[in-house]
Amino acid sequence: MTATIIDGKLAAKNLRAQLTESVAKLKADKGVVPGLAVVLVGDDPASKSYVTAKEKACAEIGIYSDDNRLPENSSEEELIGLIQKLNQDSQIHGILVQLPLPRHIDENKVIMAIDPDKDVDGFHPVNVGRMNIGQPCFLPCTPHGIIHLLKINNIETKGKHAVVIGRSNIVGKPVAALLARKAEGGNATVTLCHTATKNLADFTRQADILVVASGRPNTVTADMVKPGAAVIDVGVNRVEDSSYEKGYRLVGDVDFEAVKDVAGWITPVPGGVGPMTITMLLYNTVQSATMKAQC
């Protein structure tokens, strides 16, 4: 069997076309241009490239992006001061602070400083709480993107066994919560595996849907996958490769070449989950601006 390759780029393109129309309509009907403030502290190359991609995506669909770059040695107070200013700025509907932050800055304090109504990452405890009790909120971008990819590929979740590897606040825990909730795209029986899980393969082999967010290449090999399963690879790892111009290539957390011959569906890296993460950020920003325009 060869898996259907889930095309995240195409899914993102289609959703971004719809968002472009929503942005144009918001501007024409209400005179509102959605605004996203992007905040990057320091020079981490991967974070820089993510932030650049997010700003480019904003420009492509007509969202105004406000670029805020702070030096690595900025203080927590400076960063929180900037966030407070952005909270008050009526042209800004979403605030994104790229993570990870330098070690001397308390990530939790920074996230807590963002107005929950501008928290388009869905990281503020108010939004995490709302999501977990089924109230309207900004859904975290990568988990929301994964649920969307399952939906448009007609991959049933109801009554299925979903196994998630990784318990991060950004991906593992929220995607497990979304898959378990009593709602469309949920209703799965969910197992959350992590670094202390014994005999990981015993769990992954039971998965109808396997979401891998371990941050480690080859976490999932072909012998760990149930034939026909949907395998969603969230990993983005740089592997040295001198045959590439940049000196590295990107791989996920799944042994793609081998697993594609066992799985029913699989997301590639790059071109799978990644484009959806950015698209859901745009989605949340448009949602925020739309809500503001209705007030």
**Interacting residues with ligand GUN (CB under 6 A):** 96-99, 121, 141-142, 170, 277
Given the complex with ligand GUN, which of 222 and 250 has the nearer CB atom?
250
13 belongs to the catalytic site:
no
Given the complex with ligand GUN, which of 117 and 187 has the nearer CB atom?
117
286 Cβ partners below 8 Å, 6+ apart?
19, 22, 23, 26, 34, 63
- Nearest approach, Cβ of residue 98 and ligand GUN (Å): 5
Query: Which residue of the chain is nearest ligand GUN when measured via CB?
Result: 99
Taking the CA of residue 54 as centre, how many other CA atoms within 13 Å lie in the half-sphere pointing to its CB? 32
Q: CB–CB of 143/117 below 8 Å?
A: no
Given the complex with ligand GUN, which of 12 and 141 has the nearer CB atom?
141
Rounded-to-integer distance, Cα 198 and Cα 151, Å: 31
- Nearest approach, Cβ of residue 202 and ligand GUN (Å): 29
27 belongs to the catalytic site:
no
From the list 7, 54, 118, 233, the catalytic residue is 54
CA distances, 142 to each of 69, 89, 128 (Å) = 23, 26, 14
- Nearest approach, Cβ of residue 267 and ligand GUN (Å): 16
151 belongs to the catalytic site:
no
- Nearest approach, Cβ of residue 216 and ligand GUN (Å): 16
List, as own/partner pairs, every contact residues 16-23 make where C-beta atoms lie below 8 angstroms and the sequence separation is at least 24, other chains included.
16/57, 16/60, 16/61, 16/279, 16/282, 19/61, 19/279, 19/282, 19/283, 19/286, 20/60, 20/61, 20/62, 22/286, 22/290, 23/61, 23/62, 23/63, 23/286
Given the complex with ligand GUN, which of 138 and 203 has the nearer CB atom?
138
From the list 7, 118, 119, 121, the catalytic residue is 121
Catalytic residue annotation: 54, 98, 121
